[in-house]
Amino acid sequence: MRTPRTKPTITAILALLWVALTCCVALAQHPDSLPSWNDGPTKSAIVQFVQDVTKEGGPKYVRPEARIATFDQDGTLWCEQPVGQLEFVTWRIKQMASNHPEWKDQEPYKAVLEGDKGFLVNDLTHNHGKALMELVVATSAGMPIEDFNRSVTEFLDSARQPKYNRKYTQTIYQPMLELLRYLRTNGFKTYICSGGGVAFMRVFSEDTYGVVPENVIGSFAMNTFKQVDGRWQIVKDKQNLFINDGLTKPVGIDQKIGRVPIFVGGNVRTGGDIGQLTYSHTNPLPNFQLLINHDDDVREFAYSEKDNASLNAAKAGGWQVVSMKRDWKRIFPF
């Protein structure tokens, strides 16, 4: 039964190649894509959903073009104690105050200059951040976008989150970074859909989250294209101000994407994500809702929602609730 001399050599080479290939595939599949998530129902549900929608020929398969995932930012992707953009605006108001003596006696500037944190937190929680957006406009309208971007970078480089003494772009949630990457690896397009300003978030979204600028949805005003110092530039302006929060988040998503997401992540605090979570639930395609509950006062902050609306909606809608305490092995990359 001996075969000619050449055959076993080729067979052996092919076999070796096969073994090498199989090993590579196994190695590539084996590592846990969500190592900072504790094993349990939340992690299993996420993995099951992703496996279902990516299984070609399966009953829940979703073509890659329709694999849209949107995530709130404050409290969902990074720590919102305090809210980064609120700190940025405060920093800008203080920078600009010497040229605006009238601000001393004029709300909301007065509150900011006097260090009354409660004023804007209250505005954010109960008024969809309308005063904050006014401040954003006041501190940026008329600025060429490149100057605005530079000022955001300067703030992010110099400011520190007080509890951790880290940059705001470092107090991001490691489990969520892994989830964003896991979804992208599986053909999803990941978007941020936040109440924050689009221009503010775009400065760091790609480096921080791997979310390209065109995938950032947020509050915005329409800018102006005009010549400044003889150069055509986009200049920050205040027309058509749109606040992307609560029931307007689906509107922001529709304006930007024109498709209903199949995966949405938000968090408990103001009820601001109920809109986009509900919206994804209207998708006739398989869909998934993730609601983060801030229940870890040791590693992060514990806080809840006045009327419990987000958790109630999660219960009614069958959304997955993340307990940061129970579901997350670690909170931050550091």
Q: Is the peptide bond before 108 cis (omega within 30 degrees of 0)?
A: yes
Structure tokens at 306: 């006045």
Phi-psi region of 310 (alpha: psi -120 to 50; beta: other; left: phi over 0): alpha
Taking CB under 8 A as the rule, does residue 229 contact its own copies? no
Q: Is there binding between residue 202 and its own copies (CB under 8 A)? A: yes
x/- letters, 9..28, toward its own copies (CB under 8 A): xx--x---------------
Give the interface size with its own copies as a residue count (CB under 8 A). Answer: 46
Is residue 242 close enough to count as binding its own copies by CB under 8 A? yes
Under rule CB under 8 A, residue 210 binds its own copies: no
Residues 6+ apart with CB under 8 A from 161: 79, 82, 167, 168, 170, 171
- The H or E element that residue 266 is part of is strand 263-267
List the one residue from 63, 104, 150, 226 that touches its own copies (CB under 8 A).
Answer: 226
Q: What is the distance of C-alpha 223 from the center of its chain? A: 23
Interface of this chain with its own copies, residues 87 to 146, rule: CB under 8 A: 145
Binder of its own copies out of 250, 265, 271, 272 (CB under 8 A): 250
Residue (13 or 302) nearer to its own copies, CB:
13
- Closer by beta carbon to its own copies, 165 or else 282: 282
Which member of 111, 132, 138, 198 binds its own copies (CB under 8 A)? 198
Query: How would you list the strands of the sheet with 216-228, edge to edge?
Result: 231-242, 216-228, 189-197, 68-71, 263-267, 288-293, 320-323
- Please pick, from the candidates 259, 285, 296, 301, the single residue that binds its own copies as defined by CB under 8 A: 259
**Look-up: residue for tokens 């801030």?**
294
- The site string for its own copies over 52-71 (x = CB under 8 A, - otherwise) reads -------------x--x---
Cβ neighbours of 34 (radius 10 Å) = 18
The span from the CA of 107 to the CA of 104, in Å, is 8
User: Per CB under 8 A, does 333 bind its own copies?
Assistant: no
Nearest Cα to Cα of residue 130 among 95, 86, 76: 86
Q: Is 3 in the site for its own copies (CB under 8 A)?
A: no
Q: Report the distance separating Cα 96 and Cα 90, nearest Å.
A: 10
Nearer of residues 62 and 216 to its own copies, judged by Cβ: 216
Positions in the binding site for its own copies (CB under 8 A): 5-6, 9-10, 13, 65, 68, 145, 189, 198-199, 202, 206, 212-214, 216, 220, 222-226, 231-234, 240-242, 247-251, 254-259, 275, 278-279, 281-282
